[in-house]
Structure 1
Amino acid sequence: MNFKEARILVASDGHTNSELVSKLLLEEFELVHLSWDESRIAADFEKYRPQVLVLAFETLELAERYYLGLFRQSQIVHTMPHRTLLLCNKEDVRRAYELCRKEYFDDYVLFWPMVHDTRRLCMSVLLALRALSSITQSPKVADIAAHVRQVGDLEGVLDRSMAEGAARIDITDHSLRMASEELGDVIEGFADLLAGDLPGSVPSAADAPAVSAGQSQRAKAAPRLKEVENAMTPLREWLDGVKVAVAPPLASARNLQSLAADHRPLVLVVDDDEFQCKLLARLLDTKRYELMFAHSATEALAALRRCRPSLILMDVMLPDMDGVEVTRRLKASPAYAMVPVVMITGQSERNVVQASLQAGAIDFVVKPFDRERLCAKVSHYLQLD
């Protein structure tokens, strides 16, 4: 990544603040854009597609409101890899730290009032770009583990295919041997008939050339029949050679599979009810998979920028955006379209079921939870059965 040409968007509640921040950033970066019109939150973000979003608001409340509005209005913000940098004043440092620790934002800089270390802003943007570069260029562990599991299945497929091939060779070998024996019997009988060896057969002098020809053909046929019997030997040797050749790669695949087994799938639970989250943590089999919790749609979408879960348990009723809409947005993104979403609901209305299925959900779990059914569904969609 060419950091100098990285796309940076400075969002602010006023032209003065955004110009000030922009001036400092332009000393290091070339593509710095400004956004201070609240009505163009989503439009500016989607137009400039920033890799680093600098939130230069007077208060943290305004920064939080902006980012929440961005997730509500933009259809693609959660699909675009970017880092968020929060500018704060001395009174809000503790709060900024808590927000970043909870991963609502990625980092913060003490900026108001202006401090002597003005280069700190550029340094923080550089660090954000480096972190983003490592995330986007490195394959996700979950994806690697999934591919390794598929490679591990190759051994079983190969064993079954080779066993089937060996069985077919045996059948063909048996058929050739039977045909060889039958053909040999026919030639022998014909030759014996011509030679007068069969009871009641008396060859005449006129039959002498035919007898000689029959004996000659029998002599020629014998090695040919032996060749037919031995025709399967090279094929068997080839099959044994294949087994020897693939043994080292399969051993490596087994080792990778054992390593992949140590990586547990991630289940993202999106529910604003703290009690329900604690209950799910107790009910689910956390020895087989990891749990991550998000208590709002915004928090969930922000979490998806940093990780890719193997399964999402999505509550229908959320404080900032309903679970059906969040599911619809995820399914519209190629990055998350294949992640299964199971809705959590205490409602059984037909319209909720239909809307969720149309949005892309694959199943439901209904409150109050049935532990056995809940764990069975999670294991099924994680392919742990």
Structure 2
Amino acid sequence: MTELNDLTPKRAAILVASQSVADAELVGKLLQDEFHNVRLSTKPEFAVEDFEQHRPSVLVLAFDTLEAAQRYYIGLYRLSTVVHETRHRVVVLCNKHDVWTVYDLCSLGHFDDYVLFWPATNDAPRIRMSVHQALRIMTAKEQAGDFTPRAAPAGVSAPKPPRAAAPAEAETDTVRLGRQASGEQAEVHASPARQPAAKAPSAAPQRLAVLVVEDDDFQQKLIGRLMNGLEIDVLFAGTGAQALEQMWEHKPDLVLMDVGLPDTSGVEATRKIKSIGQFGHVPILMVTGHSERNIVVDSLKAGAADFLVKPFDKNTLHEKLRQFLPALALS
């Protein structure tokens, strides 16, 4: 017989996930007066570990954009084997511009409920009521004998049973594991270790990816054109926040980081990326129109590997790329 969870406000596990410590703490404080088992998850590299350790009955997504909330939740289903079997409800906090979109997502079962919360809420108790309602629904289902785990978001399938890694897979680094988890090369790794020759996967090398963090459209197009002819997938981000999202989604092999960004400095964005263990090895080249000593020093302290001073030409850019992407230098 399946054991009932304790879904009372004093015992029910609540997890607040956010990319901002301040936002998570704000939401946590609003909930802690009535719910006594609230935990926060604010470091992307520990997202799966936090969920698996806490096993929340209610997951509150307190991200500043709906896109970030969706990416986080889909990431859980792609990287965790526990989330598929953990009964939980999802409450997402949104702004007024995303109300109809998140309504549609809730109607489709991607999330369970939403609260109009950002930038500042005039109805603070609403989030508490949403959590209360989630626990009541779960209690009613369990009392009725319904212990069905929550369905995965659309387009995300359940993970396959673990198997012993082949020698080649055992040598795969963290970046490649992240790409496999996001769906790339799924056909190759879902196949048995021994295959008939006709079904063997292609031996074509993995394409490299370079993230260009630049808010000027003209500069984005210029750098993109300068990379024409190279076996590289070029990604773009216009802000520091978008850069971090691209890092988690695409796991690029190198970053070109503009010093001036609309939401933060390139130095601070570099420091944030380098603080995440999975990205510590990714070289970041600062792109700047000047080379003042303080910018150079601050960038190097933040973890930058080198600089590109504007304006630069195709040969200079290609030389830098080959310097920091050995696989490209051999192509």
Structure 2-normalised TM-score? 0.51
What's the CA shift for 1:126? Answer: 5.2
Deviations 1:239-291 (A, max 9, x none): xxxxxxxxxxxxx9xx87x6242x21111111122221122111113640101
- CA shift in 2, pair 1:299/1:289, >3 Å: same
Structure that is richer in helix per residue: 1
- CA shift in 2, pair 1:15/1:292, >3 Å: closer
**Equivalence for 2:306:** 363
- CA shift in 2, pair 1:331/1:88, >3 Å: closer
What's the CA shift for 1:16? Answer: 11
What's the CA shift for 1:364? Answer: 1.0
How far apart are the structure 2 equivalents of 1:91 and 1:124? Answer: 31
Which of 232, 238, 259 is 2:203 aligned to? 259
How far apart are the structure 2 equivalents of 1:140 and 1:97? Answer: 39
Deviations 1:137-163 (A, max 9, x none): 89789637x9xxxxxxxxxxxxxxxxx
1:323-334 matched pairs, under 5 angstroms: 323-334=266-277
Q: Which runs of 5+ in 2 are unaligned?
A: 6-11, 18-23, 78-89, 117-125, 127-132, 139-147, 163-168, 180-196
**Contact 2:209–2:233, Cα closer than 8 Å, also in 1:** yes
**Contact 1:88–1:110, Cα closer than 8 Å, also in 2:** no
What's the CA shift for 1:340? Answer: 0.9
**Contact 2:66–2:98, Cα closer than 8 Å, also in 1:** no
**Equivalence for 2:242:** 299
**Equivalence for 1:348:** 291
What's the CA shift for 1:337? Answer: 1.1
Q: Is 2:325 aligned against 1:319?
A: no
Structure 1-normalised TM-score? 0.45
Q: Is 2:67 aligned against 1:92?
A: no
Deviations 1:23-49 (A, max 9, x none): 9xxxxxxx97367xxxxx969x98994
Which of 118, 127, 143 is 2:152 aligned to? 127
What's the CA shift for 1:109? Answer: 5.4
Amino acid at match of 2:203: L
How far apart are the structure 1 equivalents of 2:222 and 2:265? Answer: 21
Q: Is 2:55 aligned against 1:55?
A: no
Q: Which runs of 5+ in 1 are unaligned?
A: 24-30, 36-40, 57-62, 69-77, 100-106, 147-251
Amino acid at match of 1:259: A
Question: What SS class does the counterpart of residue 300 from structure 1 fall into?
Answer: helix
Question: What SS class does the counterpart of residue 374 from structure 1 fall into?
Answer: helix
- CA shift in 2, pair 1:110/1:276, >3 Å: farther
Amino acid at match of 1:377: K
What's the CA shift for 1:356? Answer: 1.2
**Contact 2:91–2:115, Cα closer than 8 Å, also in 1:** no
**Contact 1:93–1:110, Cα closer than 8 Å, also in 2:** no
1:203-242 matched pairs, under 5 angstroms: none
**Equivalence for 1:33:** 38
Amino acid at match of 2:276: S
Question: What SS class does the counterpart of residue 335 from structure 1 fall into?
Answer: helix
How far apart are the structure 2 equivalents of 1:334 and 1:295? Answer: 23
User: What RMSD in Å do the two structures reach over aligned CA positions?
Assistant: 5.5
**What is the identity percentage for the equivalent residue pairs of Structure 1 and Structure 2?**
33
What's the CA shift for 1:342? Answer: 0.7
How far apart are the structure 2 equivalents of 1:284 and 1:333? Answer: 27
- CA shift in 2, pair 1:88/1:143, >3 Å: closer
How far apart are the structure 1 equivalents of 2:229 and 2:149? Answer: 36
- CA shift in 2, pair 1:308/1:133, >3 Å: farther
